[in-house]
Amino acid sequence: MEPLLCVDLGSTFTKAALVDGDTGDLLGTTSHPTTLATDVMDGVDACRAALAERHPEAVDAALLACSSAGGGLRIAVVGTEELVTAEAGRRVALSSGGTVAAVLSGGLGEHGVATLREARPDVVLLVGGTDGGNSEVLLADAASLAAAGWDGPVVVAGDVEAREEVGARLAAGGSAYLLSDNVLPRIGVLTPAPARRAVRELFLSHVIGGKGLSTRVDLASLVRGPTPDLVLTGVEVLAAVTGQDVVVVDVGGATTDVHSVVQLDPEEATLSREVVASSPVTRTVEGDLGMRWSAASTWDAATAAGLDPGFDRDQGVRRAEHPDLLPEGPDDVADDLALAGAAATLACRRHAGRARVVTGPDGRVVERSGTDLRRVGLLVGSGGVLRHAPPGQAEAVLARLVGTSPEGWQLPASPRVVVDRDYVLAAVGLLAESHAAAAGALARSLTAWESREG
């Protein structure tokens, strides 16, 4: 046996899973409040000790970690055109595990740099121009950052023929940067993987260390990447081992994230009207939908969308004002589940978009927005409110996302519905690179109906 301790350093809780690195068997799980006030490793030690009481092998288990502690990863996108390169950069930023702090386009200048500073990004994703295209704005943006003395890390993922000059301009201003392949090498083609890897590298080398989360260890040497990025990797593994399209809805305290891996229809792709092509791997983050910090705005958004939130707005305000609130009885649990249902429904609608028939020069065509989830075979619910829900109630929340929508929402038609009660997707993502077979086995175990004891 090769025991591995897979840990997610969350903004509120540190979650740990002890996994057999040879077989992928889940040996145990536990969690502890994240110890930001002291040292995040204190929470990791508490998780290791709790697991060691039942599994002595946890004492010496190698540690694999991901992190969203201390605010996670904030990415600002700087592109040439709002609807082309900036939009491509925004999609890549989301798939990289970050919250998009700002999207700027059309040339930075002094005003743009000031806006960028107000956004307080951890990483800037600088894009612009197709390969061999017009790189004038890309080069000017690099010069603006250099002139402003921008000292934050920058990923350069624009016109490859200009990137060396872009790097030279950033270096002259003292910026840390990495050169990557273009996220939009040509119109209609989106290439997120190289920039996604570069963002992860800068997150590890500059962001984790800069947050001062631990004085005991070199945390950057332990953390593999931002939690949402590793979860999305876990979803990719899950889709591969089950051989079907997958969507994961993660209802959190501040945001509701939707991760999907779908096989694109080649025929529909040729009819696409998008300048930026759809990607089979997609993540969206809804900052106004959540269980605590965003509870009141969830009520507002549900009401505006014509949905019955199922809870009073004052209960949403109460949760927003007391984000550490834990349900104290059946009424609180019912309100939390109603809140989760509203957040999950709205987040999935925004991710999936609609299909509608429009008439143009070429006749009647179907125009789609978002990621078409109708053929998804597996719908997975995640987040504390769903993991800790009474039997059957989390599945009932997710059932609201299933079926044909008369409004045209491209939601899953007839998926299998499961809840990631043991929070294994982050662990799958952590294992994927170094222990691929174990990652696949652990992902496959998620589809078992029975909830395992940690």
Q: Is the dihedral of CA 393, 394, 400, 403 positive or negative?
A: negative
SS (H, E, C) 139-200: HHHHHHHHHCCCCCCEEECCCCCCHHHHHHHHHHCCCCEEECCCCCCECCECCCHHHHHHHH
> Which tokens is 205 given?
């080398």
CB burial of residue 130 (10 Å; 0-12, 13-18, 19+): buried
Q: 15 by DSSP, 3-state: which?
A: strand
pLDDT at 266 (0 to 100): 61
Displacement of CA 182 from its chain's centroid (Å): 21
Residue 336, classified by CB atoms within 10 Å of its CB into exposed (0-12), middle (13-18) or buried (19+), is buried
* DSSP label at residue 451: P
**Best CA proximity match to 251, nearest among 211, 290, 304:** 290
* Chain length of the chain: 454
Take residue 300 and report the two structure tokens written for it: 């507002």
Q: What distance in Å separates the CA atoms of residue 198 and residue 204, rounded to the nearest whole number? A: 10
Instruction: List, in sequence order, every beta strand (DSSP E) within 94-149.
Output: 99-105, 123-126
User: Are 239 and 259 in contact, with CB atoms under 8 Å apart?
Assistant: no
Tell me which H or E stretch contains 417. Answer: strand 416-419
Where does 251-391 have alpha helices with state H?
266-270, 295-304, 313-321, 330-352, 384-387
> Digits of tens for pLDDT over the chain (454 positions)?
899 999 999 888 899 999 999 999 999 999 999 999 999 999 999 999 999 999 999 999 999 999 988 878 999 999 999 989 999 999 999 988 888 999 999 999 999 999 999 999 999 999 999 999 999 999 999 999 999 999 999 999 999 999 999 999 999 999 999 999 999 999 888 999 999 999 999 998 888 877 888 999 888 889 999 999 999 999 999 999 999 999 999 998 888 999 999 997 765 554 444 556 678 899 998 989 999 989 999 999 999 999 999 999 999 999 999 988 989 999 999 999 999 999 999 999 999 988 766 665 665 555 667 889 999 999 999 999 999 999 899 999 999 999 988 888 999 999 999 999 999 999 999 999 999 999 999 999 998 744 333 3
Q: How many CB atoms lie within 10 A of CB 54?
A: 12
Give the gyration radius of the chain's Cα atoms: 22
pLDDT at 56: 97
Asked if 75 contacts 121 with a C-beta cutoff of 8 angstroms, the reply is yes
Q: In whole angstroms, what is the distance from residue 222 CA to residue 208 CA?
A: 10
Contact call for residues 6 and 27 (beta carbons, < 8 A): no
Count CB atoms within 10 A of the CB of residue 115: 14
Query: Where is 258: in which H helix or E strand?
Result: strand 256-261
Tokens of 84: 């082309």
3-class secondary-structure state, position 283: strand
Which element (helix H / strand E) includes 444? Answer: helix 436-445
CA distance 11 to 264: 34
121-150 pLDDT tens trace: 999 999 999 999 999 999 999 999 999 999
Report pLDDT for 134. 93
